Structure 1
Amino acid sequence: MPFEAPARSAAETTADEINARFGPKDACGVIAHALTHHGRIALVSSFGAESVVLLHMAASIDRAVPVLFVNTGMLMAETPAYQARVAERLGLSNLQVVKPDPVALLTRDTDGLLHLADTDGCCALRKTEPLARALAPFDGWITGRKRIHGGQRVALDLAETDGARLKLNPLAHWSSREIATYMAAHDLPRHPLEAKGFTSIGCAPCTSPARPGESPRAGRWRGADKTECGIHFINGKAVRT
């Protein structure tokens, strides 16, 4: 029998259409199209070093866009403070702070030291599982991932799938210079930890400044064979680069 390729899912077909329709730098076009044509879409933001660009774009289109911010309970103090500042500045009216299940914390990380023994388990408990619950009502989500981050991100498309859900990376093709130019043009607030050398900002125990010439994400889980927290998937599997 001749080989028959498996049928494309609705999300895969939509992702293909978006990748074909929009230019690599048309981030606002991708966001506007998703918010008006593809059901319930959430923007997931870490409120990290570059996050304000995507947040500004989305707020310029619809300030009521659902913005999911995962507060793991182990973030550096500067990040929640920056989140509040940016949300007020942009007028975000549907910010949803996502937190770990307190019962799960008591049973799986009683002393707050799980990250020392099992970084993947800690990320699952404090970030991956809470976000999965928060995303359950949505048809798709928007991320701030970019090819310049390296690893498996170097091949990112504008649109992909997360199971049956649409997943969008509007800034996938943007360079560091373009990000900085956009921030300056719109006078957007910088994360205070940038001035201390943090180019990718996660939880306090697992984040360090990037050294000159290093990848922007070099300071995440430094010294470990780990570069992703696990919230990003390819064909249903967590990305590990």
Structure 2
Amino acid sequence: MGSGSDGGQEAVLAVVGSAGGGVLSLLTLPRSFLVEHIGHDATHLTFRAHDGRTVRATPGQLRVHVRLLPPEHNPLYETQLTEAFLATRLLPESGWSPERTPPVRDAVLGTIAFDEKAAGYETDVVFGDESVWVSFDGCGAARTAELVPHVRRLMESFAAIEESGREFLWASGADGTESAEEKDRLLDELKPHSLVVYRSGDFEVHYDDTSGIFCMEGYWPVVQYRADRTPVSMSVGA
């Protein structure tokens, strides 16, 4: 345990295999959960806060990186970080039985199934003449079901959402010397292929860049949005 560069709490989790070697993971802990003690047994670690709250989870659950919009774009960052940390014990793991990862069914989104390899819930949703792969980050069955109405509304407005994301990408890279024809041509080369919904309700859209101008081969642009559909940042997927 120690203090992070921003004054928050950080911990290093070391998982050592029986034959040697292992995995190191850096954990960011919420400021509101002031850790007083960390204990463990054969399968779980337990974090106890100064106010008596506890979080008990497996090393695999603690290593899950739950996506959040970064603090500079997210006034609710600490609240969301706290909620995600307290829910760590609910994060599904590969190897869970089907009884612990039941499918979530919806009339619009279809069957949202647990993918053991990805250790998350996913589904394919028809969008116009195309389909969009929808995944739920850091969510078990219960949280996925809670997010279904929100995702349904996102899909109903997906044309406007993905268009605002393409405009955001353009504004992030344009220098003002490009023609309107250039802009139209390049934006037409960006095609949305997946939607990743965070457990907070914020989300990101991944685009195929068929022009090869925004990203090199093997990479693609990603736009992050607040839950209210405002694009706030971009990154590159690989």
- On whether the aligned pair clears a TM of 0.5, the verdict is no
- The structure where helix makes up a greater share of residues is 1
Which has the larger Rg? 2
Indicate the structure whose relative CO is greater, using CA pairs within 8 Å and at least 6 residues apart.
Answer: 1
TM-score, normalisation: structure 1: 0.28
- The structure where strand makes up a greater share of residues is 2
